[in-house]
Amino acid sequence: MTTGRYPATRFRRTRSSDALRRLTRQETLSVDDLIWPVFVMEGENGRDPIASMPEVARLTIDNVVRAAEEAAGLGIPAICLFPYIDPSLKTEDCAEAWSADNLSNRAVRAIKAAVPEIAVMTDIALDPYNINGHDGYVVDGEIVNDKTVEALVKMALAQAEAGADILGPSDMMDGRIGAMRAALEDAGHVNVSILSYAAKYASAFYGPFRDAVGASGALKGDKKTYQMDPGNSDEALRLVERDLIEGADMVMVKPGMPYLDICRRVKDAFGAPTYAYQVSGEYAMLMGAAERGWLDGPRVMEESLLAFKRAGCDGILTYFAPEMARVLTARQG
């Protein structure tokens, strides 16, 4: 890459006015880039604020439906459900995970009945239902892979039957994408998409999320035997390639901001629809600093989301989705 010399080339020329900045801007945010993660709990007309995630709350199904209506009104194309499961339903066999009438599946049906145009994404992992707090079955202290995959397939089929549009396997077990895709095809769910958490790291940024779904106290040990080592990047490409070959329609990098380099490598290598999850710890840091007046909240929100687009992402799961959508809508209006 070569450029001209000063003074013939003055880079500040195209920064000199709002009009020129807009004309030369390489990346922009759109409401179409947003997926809104929402926490669902049992009860009616309830809202339970999450202390470690300012302005985020667990919602009962009726209020999740209202959130979906709000999202659709703002033009947000999808929401993603995460259940807060009653501790009495957490078991060794995790059977509640694939119950047709579990909390998550009832929420899916309610949303699709009320707001059919919005895409509903679900989470596939055993940790909300596992008394051990892990994404897979624990046998003699080991998180076992193949038995877990069998359970995840049942979970995927139950969610597809409930009407989920996008399945989000977040478990990081080997072979689960191929097994789910085969089962979905056999069951006639040929149009259900899989957005695989293909490169999910064993990160310290998940803490507030685990508070939100009630997994913090349940987790025994850590998740390092199945989630990725933060020092690895080549492995992420191998995992993404495998999941695409096995039938994933879209792939995700998680967390987001600490792994923008992975987002760029994935997009450059495969050109597949690539997403990032701006996880709870990222959100909490920005919100906490903004609440204390240390950062300009709206500006850092937008700047952080724009970074994902610059890194090659096609979309972002973010708790800022409704606020960002309102900003973008007001700007266009």
Q: How far apart (Å, rounded) are the C-alpha atoms in residues 125 and 135? A: 5
- pLDDT for the residue numbered 332: 82
CB-count exposure of residue 141 (10 Å: 0-12, 13-18, 19+): exposed
Which domains are delineated in the chain? Answer: 28-332 (3.20.20.70)
Determine the pLDDT at residue 215. Answer: 73
| Pairing verdict, β 142-143 and 138-139 | antiparallel
Q: What is the pLDDT of residue 1?
A: 75
Compute the distance between CA of residue 101 and CA of residue 104 in angstroms, rounded to an integer.
Answer: 8
Is 154 part of the annotated catalytic residue set? no
Nearest to 202 by CA among 254, 239, 241, 250: 254
The one-character DSSP state at 276 is: E
Residues 6+ apart with CB under 8 A from 60: 40, 41, 42, 43, 44, 45, 46, 47
Known catalytic residue: 254? yes
pTM of this structure? 0.96
Closest CA to 129 of 157, 162, 106, 152: 152
Show the CA angle centred on residue 117, arms to residues 84 and 154, nearest 5°. Answer: 45
What pLDDT score does 296 carry?
98
Report yes or no: 119 and 76 within 8 Å, Cβ to Cβ.
no
Selected catalytic residue, list 90, 112, 200, 309: 200
Residue 35: its pLDDT value, please? Answer: 98
116 class by beta-carbon count within 10 Å (0-12 exposed, 13-18 middle, 19+ buried): exposed
- Mean pLDDT by runs of 10 across the 333 residues of the chain is 87 95 94 98 97 96 98 98 95 97 98 98 96 94 97 98 98 98 98 98 94 79 95 98 98 98 98 98 97 98 98 98 96 80
Q: Which one from 90, 112, 223, 254 is the annotated catalytic residue?
A: 254
Q: Are strands 119-124 and 166-169 parallel, antiparallel or unpaired?
A: parallel
pLDDT at 3: 79
